Structure 1
Amino acid sequence: MKILILVFLVGIYQVTAETHSLKYFVTESSQVPDFPEFVVVGMVDDVQIVHYDGNTTEAVPKQDWMKEVIDDDPEYFKRSTNIFIKEQQTFKDNIEVLKQRFNQTGDVHIYQVMYGCEWDDETDKVNGYRQYGYDGEDFIALDLKTETWIAAEPQAVFTKQKWDNDKARTAYLKYYHTQICPEWLKKYVNYGRSSLMRKDLPSVSLLQKTSSSPVTCHATGFYPDRADLFWRKDGEELYEDVDRGKILPNHDGTFQMSVDLKISSIAPEDWKKYDCVFQLSGVKDDIITKLDKSVIRTNEGSSGFRVAAVVVGLLVLIAGITAAVKYADISGRKYKSVSPASSTSDTSTSSAEDLDPKKKISGEQEKMLKN
């Protein structure tokens, strides 16, 4: 039995300049079942490079190319482990302080910090950020331009006043985010260039359950996940009668996504006006798939499509589970409008950011101090 899936590939494409990012997510949780109380995840271009949790108490590389760091700096992960162990107690103290400030006792609570930097490899422009959150809401963030802290909650005002008065710490954080962090980001991009800079184009196919069902434009096998997939009519993107799916990971490290188009109100003679467009960050040419009945794989009269549909369905299910596990590994909970941060006690300052081998950074500076 043959399974026919039409594939549209762009053979020649051009890579453009990109903005790279280095981010660290530090999470302390309280009473979250089957999840470590303390987790640190480092990511380059949204690819996980290092992981630490309070159960294993060991910083470990998550990409093969990160082992090159060990070749150049054998003490790298040992030093990182020691930093995270110190921060673990700091974060534990902080979440207790926060619970008191919000007049809370037990239940599930999440204290989280995200910090890091971005670097444009064409203009060499850098940008840093550091932000703290509590129970899924913003708590306090650093404004690098004014070198002051922004309190997002009344309970954060005390911390803001304390940190605003610590000029030396703020000056160091500005130096870290604008100098140290970008230097390390450039090193990581260089170490993982063959992996991080690769561009994998997808196969794109049109699927349909029945002749009256929406037509699904499905793209799979692309990398990185900075991509878009949408329907157009007469060259203009459609926002009505479409249902966009999320980007999901495949088992091989690539990604997939789909977007549905309702065709019940489209006259047969107008089908030629519609097409599905796939765009990948850093790639100049789009992959365009025309809405054409002759290329649609449908359930009606095709056992082959049934098998294909089941395979796609299973891939989506598996990818969804993988994404959920990966997301939990990063934060354990939804965290909105994050930016960056590090250790956290009254607001701490250390973490994976302290991986500069020439500079030893302690993580004790961010205690939240009780009133």
Structure 2
Amino acid sequence: MLDDVQIAYYDSTTWKPVYRSHSDSKYYDEQSDAGVVLRDMYYDMKDRAFYLKEHQNHTDGVHVHQRLVGCELLYSNKPGQLHYWDAFGGQNMEEFIFDIGKHTIQIKMLWVITWNQLKRVHENFMYENVYHPICIKTLRRYLNMEKNNVLRKVKPRVRLMKKTLSDSHGLQISCLATGFYPRHINLTLFRDGQPVDDDQITGGEILPNGDGTYQMRKSLVISEEELREEHKYNCSMKLKHLSQDNKLDITFGK
């Protein structure tokens, strides 16, 4: 993945990565290196999943082993850290960070298998000289290829909707922002100029649209008594890449 854009996946049948765009022969060595890393990661995950299943006395059945590894480029185009997370059966089992500035691995959590000094030296060497350089090289190449996609800025469409609740004679108002990119957004409902408490709000998850953009909806139930009090409800949306807020105002009551 490059941010939220899929670049490739590993096919365990053919033992090869499958790239979303057509492979380019001039990047053969780089893609070959990435394929070796992905293959090693696949077999390592299989071995660890088998070990943990036995160690934790899990019965036969479906068990999920998840791994997330990612590197970052800083705004100065300098290589950043490499993060590594592992989970088994929905539980975080291992987490560490390779710090390129300090040339060391910062361990936050390990499996029940501990690292001795030899293992630590080996892992540090592999991350500094193999995994991190390959990750950064791949990131830079695909950022250059996909920059028009991942660096685009799309302004959302914002609507404030209302629905009558027949059972309580109240109203539900919903603020919907859709079609925006990137996914970072702050959507707030106000009552008489004050933010509504989070425990009164439902929704708030960022969901994908079919065209690669995102949407978010937040809803608030207004009781019959509140409707008689004539409050003013506002929907305010903020995006980091927009210079101005999008606001919609709607007033309920007499």
TM-score (norm 2): 0.79
State the secondary structure of the residue aligned to 1:171.
Answer: helix
Q: Distance in 2 between matches of 1:289 and 1:255?
A: 19
Aligned position for 1:188:
142
Q: Distance in 2 between matches of 1:266 and 1:180?
A: 60
Among 207, 222, 232, which residue is 2:190 paired with?
Answer: 232
Among 272, 276, 279, which residue is 2:238 paired with?
Answer: 279
Percent identity over the alignment is 27
Shift of 1:214: 1.0
Distance 1:180 1:233, change over 3 A: farther
Aligned position for 2:201:
242
Higher RCO (Cα < 8 Å, 6 or more apart): 1
Distance 1:195 1:81, change over 3 A: same
Contact 1:164 1:170 in 2 (8 A): no
Q: Distance in 1 between matches of 2:133 and 2:195?
A: 41
1:259-293 C-alpha deviation (Å, 9 max, x unpaired): 1122322555431xx31122234333221111246
Aligned position for 2:211:
252
Distance 1:194 1:230, change over 3 A: same
Contact 2:37 2:131 in 1 (8 A): no
Among 147, 159, 166, which residue is 2:120 paired with?
Answer: 166
Aligned position for 2:18:
60
Aligned position for 1:31:
none
Aligned position for 2:231:
270
Distance 1:143 1:56, change over 3 A: closer
1:151-178 C-alpha deviation (Å, 9 max, x unpaired): 45xxx243x2247643132133145576
Aligned position for 1:300:
none
TM-score (norm 1): 0.56
Shift of 1:216: 0.9
| Structure 1: gaps (5+ residues) | 1-42, 294-371
Q: Distance in 1 between matches of 2:96 and 2:176?
A: 41
Aligned position for 1:108:
62
1:21-67 C-alpha deviation (Å, 9 max, x unpaired): xxxxxxxxxxxxxxxxxxxxxx11122111123356542223xxx44
The one-letter code sitting in structure 1 at the alignment partner of 2:185 is: A
Q: Is 1:118 the counterpart of 2:72 in the alignment?
A: yes
Worse-superposed segment, 205-214 or 127-136:
205-214
Distance 1:76 1:186, change over 3 A: closer
Distance 1:232 1:162, change over 3 A: same
Aligned position for 1:137:
91
Contact 1:219 1:256 in 2 (8 A): yes
Q: Is 1:290 the counterpart of 2:249 in the alignment?
A: yes
Q: CA RMSD in A?
A: 3.1
| Structure 2: gaps (5+ residues) | none
Distance 1:206 1:136, change over 3 A: same
Query: As a proportion of its length, which structure holds more strand?
Result: 2
Shift of 1:203: 1.3
User: What count of residue pairs does the alignment treat as equivalent?
Assistant: 242
Worse-superposed segment, 132-141 or 72-81:
72-81
Distance 1:238 1:127, change over 3 A: farther
State the secondary structure of the residue aligned to 1:103.
Answer: coil
